[in-house]
Amino acid sequence: MSELLQFLVSGVTVGAIYAAVALGFTMIYNASGVVNFAQGEFVVIGGLTAAFLIAMGVPVFLAAVLAVVAGTVVGILLYRLAIRPAREAPLVSLIIITIGASIFLRGAMQMVFDKQIHRYDGFSGETPLRFAGATILPQSLWIIFGSFAVFVFLAWFMSRTRAGRGIRATASNRLAAALVGINTRWAMNLSFALSAAVGALAGVLSTPVTFTSYDVGVLIALKGFSATMLGGVGSPQGALVGGLLIGLIESLTAGYISSDYKDAAAFIVILVVLFVRPEGLFGKKLTERV
Amino acid sequence: MTKTKLIAAGVSALALSVASPALAQIKIGASLAVTGPAAFLGDPEAKTLEMLVEEINAQGGINGEEVELVLYDDGADPNKARTFATRLIEEDEVVAVIGGTSTGATMAMVPLFEDYEIPFISLAGAVVIIEPTKEYVFKTPHTDRMACRKIFEDITARGLSKVGLISGTGGFGKSMREQCMSVAEESGVEIVADETYGPNDADMTPQLTNIAGTDGIEAIVNPGFGQGPAVVTRNYDQLGIEVPFYQSHGVASDSFIELAGDAAEGVRLPATPLLIPDQLAEDDPQREPVQSYIAAYEEQYGESPSTFGGYAYDAFHLLVDAIERAGSSDPQAIRDALEETEGHAGVTGVYTFGPDDHLGLDLSSFRMLEIQDGGWVPVEQ
């Protein structure tokens, strides 16, 4: 029983990290239809910036805020310098631009920071909490709470605020959105900023548990993207459920079957779901009118 | 070719002939992964070689001949390594080669050195490099098999035998896991649990929960590299597991203690004496090389040397020693002298080569260390 609980705790912790990354993907996709492959780099920028500031003696919470700001700024620059100049290009080109941006950011981080692995202490200490035979790090609670908070905020923002509806309108038809008076450029800007902020926050929260270095972004993005696909592209609920599901499948497979198969198990479930529901668990069926 | 280019070529050729010194030269080649994924290994190796060549020339060279180092950066790419090996042999006409930071690059170069009969000292870890013994190929780092043996030796010395493995799935962890499985029986231990994790996994508590729940488990060994072992160590601490915990020589550096924090207390691992320069006995043959290497490296580069730089230090000094004893810089004579090396104290261990032993280290060169109060303490045996 305590074993199962430990597996669940592990799965939810890891799943919450995937979910946070997936929420970042969702944000940009919702605004532009672009899958941003530099999303993992936002996570690393958040983690590394926080690690360096804390090492320099900046108080933890100030460092966390500054790291999220740094991520946001990079997100805005990415949009202004790389995506906007190519806005007339087809979607595929924009996606390829984000791949280029991720390679560029990785190189830049090597120069700005270094090639070492970094971490800092958890926000509420390092003493694990014990309950019913299982243990959880206080930082894991921060991660889980953080992901839920981001989800609640994004879900509210996208459906209940003018700016959020503007972003969605921009995504579904940029010309029509502009015609009804939505500042589409501003909407895109906002979505990149928000998505980078979400990514950087994920990095800030997870680094005490997972560690970070300049080159881990690719793998983080891969897992986050899988969670996005499983949950349904563009749906915040989907991102959350998809992330948690993948985390749980991995930890339960590692716990009850074999750790050799945990990645395979997650991908098999994703494949099966996509066969049955190509739009993902929470995705909307798209119908193109011709 | 235009006229100006011709002139330029002529001038540079002239410059080259003017630059060649009156002293006879010993040319030593090297192909290392100075950049790329293995840069954290290759970079200190290259720095070490450059420092040592400078040092030896300041002292008048080997047998009165100046040493020239021809260094290429193969980025741990076997194809590049092979190209550079050809260039070192045919164009640079070196008398011996150090390098191959990674096993892949090393194995790509081996056939060339065997064909052209040039002595080659590899800085990579795997057993395949020297097993079976190849006439012209030597290596300085310990093998992962020796690390497994050393760990198992310590486990049995504590009266324990049932071991759980949790290995990274990267190259290092995978290879060491296989070696540990293969030497377990002869070392008197039984592998009762065998778990793995991916190089970037965030949480290994499910695997560790299973290992801790295995009947009769008495010790846990974690072959791995990079951040994985630090995460495993933290998870081990988080779960409050009591059985002794062993890491590998792959994380034998101060940064591991930094990353794992208090969770690292009590963790044991096999390492080279480079980590404990001040705790070596006065009569320890490795005390002198270890301390002088650390002092020289810190003065030159302002940072502590790594275990990997130590491999290059040993390779270079083995080569110098062989050339001095041979009294010649003929490749064949160097190879023969290398094979006769006996009791050469380096920073990694004390080397004694033989016709069937081109590694030349035994288990005693590995020190079993325990992390106590955030520092390294040798385990009394």
pLDDT tens by residue, A275-284: 888 888 887 7
Least confident of A232-246, B14-28, B275-289: B14-28
- pLDDT of B210 > 80? The answer is yes
DSSP line for A16-80: HHHHHHHHHHHHHHHHHS---TTHHHHHHHHHHHHHHHHHTT--HHHHHHHHHHHHHHHHHHIII
> B226 touching A, CB under 8 A?
yes
- Please say whether the beta carbons of B67 and B53 come within 8 A: yes
- B136 and B151 co-located in one domain: no
B87 exposed, middle or buried (CB, 10 Å; 0-12, 13-18, 19+)? middle
CB contact under 8 A, A10 and B205: yes
The predicted pLDDT at position B381 comes to: 62
Residue B339's pLDDT band (cuts 50, 70, 90)? very high
Q: Which of A219, A213, A241 is nearest to A229 (CA)?
A: A241
Provide, as residue numbers in chain A, all residues whose Cβ is less than 8 Å from the Cβ of B213. Answer: 3
The predicted pLDDT at position B20 comes to: 44
Neighbours of B241 (CB within 10 A): 17
> Across residues B239-259, what is the average pLDDT?
88
Residue B17's pLDDT band (cuts 50, 70, 90)? very low
> Within a domain: residue B276?
no
> Within a domain: residue B246?
yes
Question: Chain A residues contacting B, CB < 8 Å?
Answer: 3, 6-7, 9-11, 13-14, 17, 115-117, 119, 121, 126, 128, 130, 135, 137, 206, 209-211, 213, 216, 219-220, 251-252, 254-255, 259-260, 263
Which of B271, B302, B329 is at the close of a domain?
B271
CB contact under 8 A, B206 and A252: yes
Report which DSSP code applies to B88.
H
Residue B19's pLDDT band (cuts 50, 70, 90)? very low
Neighbours of B365 (CB within 10 A): 20
- B334 and B223 co-located in one domain: no
Provide, as residue numbers in chain B, all residues whose Cβ is less than 8 Å from the Cβ of A3. Answer: 209-210, 213
What are phi and psi for residue A267, nearest 5 degrees? -70, -30
The percent of residues in chain A predicted with pLDDT above 70, rounded, is: 98
> Within a domain: residue B52?
yes
- B106 and B124 co-located in one domain: yes
- B311 and B346 co-located in one domain: yes
Residue A62's pLDDT band (cuts 50, 70, 90)? very high
Boundaries of domain holding B182: 144-271
- B36 and B110 co-located in one domain: yes
Q: Count structural domains, chain B.
A: 2
In whole angstroms, give the CA distance from residue B214 to residue A261.
Answer: 19
The predicted pLDDT at position A132 comes to: 81
> Within a domain: residue B103?
yes
- B165 and B133 co-located in one domain: no
> Across residues B165-184, what is the average pLDDT?
88
In whole angstroms, give the CA distance from residue B129 to residue B107.
Answer: 7
> Within a domain: residue B369?
no
CB contact under 8 A, B202 and A254: no
Question: What are the extents of the domains in chain A?
Answer: 2-217
Length, in residues, of chain B? 381
CB contact under 8 A, B206 and A260: no
> Within a domain: residue B231?
yes
Q: Considering the entire predicted model, what is its pTM?
A: 0.82
> Within a domain: residue B164?
yes
Q: How big is the A-B interface in CB pairs under 8 Å?
A: 81
> Across residues B177-195, what is the average pLDDT?
91
- B148 and B265 co-located in one domain: yes
- B299 and B254 co-located in one domain: no
Neighbours of A126 (CB within 10 A): 16
